[in-house]
Amino acid sequence: MKSELNKLFGDFLSIFFPRECGCCGCVLKYQEKFICIACDFHLPYTNYHEYSDNDTARQLWGKAPLEEACSFLFMQKDSRVERLIYQIKYNNQPFLAEYFGYQYGLKLSEVKAYQDIDFVIPVPLHSSKLRKRGYNQSTYFGRGIARAMEIPLREDILVRKKATISQTGKGRLERYENVSDIFDCQNTVLMDNVHILLVDDVLTTGATIISAALVLFESFDCRISVATLARA
């Protein structure tokens, strides 16, 4: 009886405040949460967490001594995933990043290579962009992962000391030059050989996440793995 009343109340609310799928924009049904069943079925999941020799890892090989690297989704132009990322970054829906982070965290927790992660660090935004947007989408993604894996999220370690101009339209070399020396670490003491999961929303050239990883390597005795919500 209670579940029927909840359904009726949810259906009533949806008339006036319809909830939309974060991927396709259709109105969600009562039992659907954040994305519709059709999008959940058709989303291009990479399954990269299941094997170390994947395209995300290969893209970052030789640039930093990472333990593991993976991405949750493939992103193509004009796709469901591109709309999802847009909703997260520019349409004030960071909870979508946390939702997908939680789903990915459940999967990562089942893989031996990720089971000794000590904490999650999101790639930070510069304070000026954080004030403008109001949130860091990578923090929400990391929060979901950390909650699913039952490990801490650490926002007090890595800081972005320089604002950068958009990477859009830049070549690979220009992207690396644009993000060189933009991160710093707080004066924090960490245990030796700590295993960090560094997370970001989208992997393109990898320039930003490599820049962040190198600063962490310079500052601490650590091992670093990488996880991103999507890869372009």
Domains of the chain, residue spans: 1-42, 44-231
Residue 167: its pLDDT value, please? 47
By the 10 Å C-beta count (0-12 exposed, 13-18 middle, 19+ buried), 133 is classed as middle
Cα separation, 201 vs 84, whole angstroms: 11
DSSP class of residue 204 equals S
Residue 31: its pLDDT value, please? 81
Cα separation, 144 vs 192, whole angstroms: 26
Cα separation, 194 vs 210, whole angstroms: 18
Whole-structure pTM value? 0.87
Cα separation, 95 vs 137, whole angstroms: 9
Predicted confidence (pLDDT) per residue in 155-173, tens digit: 999 999 987 755 455 555 5
Q: Which segments in the chain show pLDDT lower than 50?
A: 2, 5, 8-10, 13-14, 167
Cα separation, 39 vs 36, whole angstroms: 5
Q: Which helix (H) or strand (E) holds 85?
A: helix 80-90
Cα separation, 81 vs 84, whole angstroms: 5
Residue 184, strand partner residues = 159
Residue 224, strand partner residues = 196
The helix/strand/coil state of 183 is strand
Cα separation, 10 vs 7, whole angstroms: 5
Cα separation, 193 vs 53, whole angstroms: 23
**Would you tell me which CATH number, out of the four given (3.40.50, 2.40.128, 2.40.30, 1.10.405), belongs to the domain 44-231?**
3.40.50
Cα separation, 141 vs 99, whole angstroms: 8
Residue 172: its pLDDT value, please? 56
Cα separation, 23 vs 19, whole angstroms: 12
Closest CA to 212 of 163, 160, 162, 155: 160
